[in-house]
Structure 1
Amino acid sequence: MEYHEYSASSEYVHLLSVPMWTDLRPRLAAALAGVDPEAGPVLELGAGSGLGTDVLLDSLGNDVLAVEPSASLRGVLLARLADRGTHRVTVFPGGATDLPLPGRIAAVVGMHMVGHLAPTDRKRLWAAAAERLSPGGPVVLNVQPPTAAEAVPESPWMGVAVGGLRYEGTGSAEPTGPDSVRWRMRYRTRHEDGTVLAEASAEYSWWIVTAEGLAAELAEAGLVATVDDDLVVARKAGA
């Protein structure tokens, strides 16, 4: 089943995501230190345009199994992989719960995507991944606000300039249940004189989970998790 939530916004997603990786990139690389290159592939959930994939390729010697359900974002990811000239990444065209997991997994990474998974789907995925995870292999996930099902007012426009145009985005959310919200994102392309040349919008559902709640889910799967602000790193007990 095709995933269309990012179809209208894929022109903007990569550009607007780059700044947040300034802080995240070294933290993710540190969490992955010591991953055994012979222990199997690294499973990357919700690879998007490949900003996390870059970290995996630059930090590790493992092959990468990148999962991305959005055809639009896969197009960006595949183009960027082609530019790198790498054959170490296999891009699976589906969601995290659609993937037939390999028998061995060296590590699991999921950045900016956990809220797309319903609680029952998350728990099944953590359990299945934990069974295949190599000793000492990390599961590295992060969480995003909000931490409760409450309205989020529209944020100030943020953006980046490319040539003579500026690509901008903003977002807001409304609760849809006791543990979920629906995000509404707006995007625009502006000329340097302020003229808006193009606009787009996207909506998607988001399940609320805190870092502590995510750590508890991973513990149910037999993993021992530590929390560092928005980052959760878990390993098998005793590993």
Structure 2
Amino acid sequence: MDPYECSAEYLDLMIAETWQTLAPALTEVLHAVRAKDGPVADLGAGTGRGTEAICAALPGADPVLAVEPSTTMRAVLLSRVHGIPVLRSRVTVLAEDAVRAPLPDGLRAIVALNMLGHLPPAERRALWAGSARRLAPGGALIVNLNPPAGPEHVPHTRMTAVTVGARCYEGWASAEPSGDDQVTWRMDYRVLEGGVRQSEVTVEYRWWVASPDELTTEAAEAGLVMRPAGLPELGLFTLTHRDV
């Protein structure tokens, strides 16, 4: 089942504010990557805000491969790519998941933001191993970690509110432990007009959690070194070959 089937219509506008901070931070990290040639992959590209940021940060990178398994998210992604001429000529959209996508060797960078929690530990290790094989010398895998780092309770909190026309779109989130290394997120998407609720959609999905230390150990098994990058509150990390 597509975990975004019921929520995709809300997500792009609700993550817009986050990307105002994340895009320049990603740009800085991409500019620091030592490899200067080769394609770039955006894993779990979602609605394409990260893909757009990659293309702006690296105008010479071609192609950019946007990998997104969700049909509903991919519809928004394709619309964004088609609607911006510079993206249309550079971005190829792949309807695959992060581990099984047919990526080429010699990748300058692999970007995997806001998606690690979708991968069970075995698939996470497969991502590290696949990235180690496909990265060009000096290339980097760029990931981020958002709290919680363990199976913890997260209280019901309004994460964002966006007004479009006469209506306000709210996103609320909470989480409960649902295993030794996972939580179940509950997301409530509310549409209000004049303060009156017009509709509400609730979505629940599993999210695999891990600490930076755990991920560092996993990455080392694949021959990658994990280092923090950028502002600590953004939770960005780069993974590179040991000799970089």
Pick the TM interval, shorter chain. over 0.9
Residue of structure 2 in register with 1:219 after alignment = 220
> CA contact under 8 A between 1:142 and 1:211: conserved in structure 2?
no
Structure 1 equivalent of residue 66 of structure 2: 66
**CA displacement at 1:79 relative to structure 2:** 0.5
In terms of mean alpha carbon deviation, does 67-76 or 216-225 score higher?
216-225
Q: 1:117 to 1:226 in 2, by over 3 A?
A: same
- Counting matched residue pairs gives 235
Alignment-derived partner of residue 104 in structure 1: 106
| Conserved? CA contact 2:99–2:130, under 8 Å | no
Cα deviation for residue 148 of structure 1 reads 1.3
- Of the three residues 35, 38, 41, the one matched with 1:43 is 41
In structure 2, relative to structure 1, the CA distance for the partners of 1:157 and 1:34 (3 Å cut) is closer
Do the aligned residues in 1 keep the contact of 2:158 with 2:170 (CA within 8 Å)?
Answer: no
Distance in 2 separating the partners of 1:18 and 1:219: 34
Q: TM-score, normalised by structure 1?
A: 0.93
Tell me, in whole angstroms, the C-alpha distance in 2 between the residues paired with 1:11 and 1:23. 22
Superposed displacement of residue 50, structure 1? 0.7
Q: 1:72: how far off?
A: 0.8
The SS at the match of 2:31 is coil
Shift of 1:105: 1.4
Contact 1:211 1:227 in 2 (8 A): no
* Richer in strand (by share): 2
Contact 1:215/1:227, CA 8 A, preserved across alignment: no
Q: Secondary structure at the match of 2:149?
A: coil
| TM-superposed deviation, 1:216 | 2.6
- Counterpart in the other structure of 1:135: 137
- Equivalent of residue 172 in structure 1, options 171, 174, 178: 174
Instruction: Please list every run of at least 4 consecutive aligned residues from structure 1 whose deviation after the TM superposition is greater than 6 angstroms.
Output: none
Q: How does 1:1-239 map to 2 (within 5 A)?
A: 3-33=1-31, 35=33, 36=35, 38-39=37-38, 41-60=39-58, 61-62=60-61, 63-85=63-85, 86-156=88-158, 158-191=160-193, 193-228=194-229, 229=232, 230-239=235-244
Q: Which amino acid aligns with 1:120?
A: A
Q: Conserved in 2, the CA contact under 8 Å of 1:211 and 1:231?
A: no
RMSD: 1.5
Q: Distance in 2 between matches of 1:37 and 1:164?
A: 46
TM-score in terms of structure 2 length:
0.91
Report the identity percentage: 42
The 3-state SS of whatever aligns with 2:75 is helix
Deviations 1:62-103 (A, max 9, x none): 211111111111011110111102221111112112212323
| Unaligned stretches of 5+ residues in structure 1 | none
> Matches of 1:195 and 1:37 in 2, distance apart?
52
Letter in 1 for 2:71: A
Q: Please give the alpha-carbon distance, in whole angstroms, between the structure 1 residues aligned to 2:170 and 2:89.
A: 33
**Structure 2: stretches of 5+ with no match in the other structure:** none
Counterparts of 1:25 and 1:201, CA distance in 2 = 28
Offset of residue 203 of structure 1:
1.3
